[in-house]
Amino acid sequence: MNKTLLSFGHGYSARALATRLLPKGWRIIGTTRNPDKLAEIAATGVEPLLWSGSDLRDWLREAPQLLISAGPAPQGDPVLHDLGNEIRAAAPSLRWVGYLSTTGVYGDHQGGWVDETTPLRPATRRGQARVEAEAAWQAIPELPLHIFRLAGIYGPGRGPFAKVRRGTARRIIKQGQVFSRIHVEDIAQALDKSLARPQPGAIYNLCDDDPAPPQDVIGHAAELLGLPLPPAIAFEDAEMTEMARSFYAESKKVRNDHAKAALGWQPKYPDYRSGLSAMLENDA
C-alpha cells in the first residue's frame, strides 16, 4: 500500500494523526498558506508544502490518501475551489479521503441527542458553511469520502488550564446548555483506524461518552489545579466575542455508537475528567 497522505490545512488534529502515522512508515505532506509555519511543520517530520493551488496538482498524483482539515471560506470549500477539477479527475484512483467537519451541522436540539441520521439544521453561519462543504465533497463521483463530524476539540495546548491559572476563567451559566467534546488523540485514533479500513461514504460522529455543561469542565479544571472555583456568570450578562457567543446557540448531546461499531474505536478519554487529568500530568 502507498502510505502517502496529503494533508490540506495541516492543523491541530492533523498533527495528532501524523504523530501516530509517521512511526508506521507513512509519508505525510502537510500544506499551509503561511510561509512562517513551514519550518514548524518540518520539525514534526511532516513534509511542508506552501498551498498556492497549482503547486499541489502533481502531489495529487502521488498521494492516494487525502485529509481535508481546511475549513470553509467565503468562496466555499478552499480545496475544491483551488483543485476541484483535479480532485474530480483523481477520484477513481484515490484510496481514502477524510473530511473533518463539525457536529455544528446538526444545529440546536435543546440538550437532546443526535446521531449521524439526524437531519442537518445548523443554527449558525459556520454550521451552514460546513453543510454546504460536506455536500460539495459528497457530490464528486467515485470519491472514497469519509466525513468525520467533530465535537469540541481539546488536548495539549487547548484546554481550560491556562485561563484558570491566570484567573481569567469564568463559568458561563446557561440553563440546559450541554456540549459534547473530543480529545485530539481520540480523533487521531479514529482517523488511523479508518485509514486502515476504508469505508467510502461513511459518516462518523467523533465525541466522548459524556456530554456536559461547560461550567462543569471549568470547575473540574480548577479543582484539579487546587485553585478557587472561577466565578459563575449568567450567559445573558457575560461579555463574549460574537464567535464565543455563537457556540451557545446550540445545545445537544452527540452519539458516537456508529464510530465505535464501524471502526472498532473506543475513546482513550471517554469523558472530560480523564482527558483533563492526562493533560495535567503532561503539564498541558
Q: What is the pLDDT of residues 60-79, one digit of tens each?
A: 888 999 999 999 999 899 99
Band (pLDDT 50/70/90 cuts) for residue 56 is: confident
- Higher-confidence position of 51 and 63: 63
Q: What is the pLDDT of residues 171-206, one digit of tens each?
A: 999 999 999 999 999 999 999 999 999 999 999 999
Q: Which of 1, 2, 86, 70 lies closest to 30, judged by CA? A: 70
> Which 8-state DSSP code applies to residue 173?
E
Measure the CA–CA gap between 5 and 85, rounded to whole angstroms: 19
Element (H, E) at 29: strand 27-32
Mean pLDDT of 132-152: 98
User: In which region does residue 159 sit, left (phi positive, over 0), alpha (psi from -120 to 50) or beta (all else)?
Assistant: beta
- Model's pTM, two decimal places? 0.96
Task: Specify the CATH class of 4-152+183-207+255-268 in words.
Answer: alpha beta
3-state secondary structure 58-108: HHHHHCCEEEECCCCECCECHHHHHHHHHHHHHHHHCCEEEEEEEHHHHCC
Residue 201 sits at φ, ψ, to 5 deg, of 95, -5
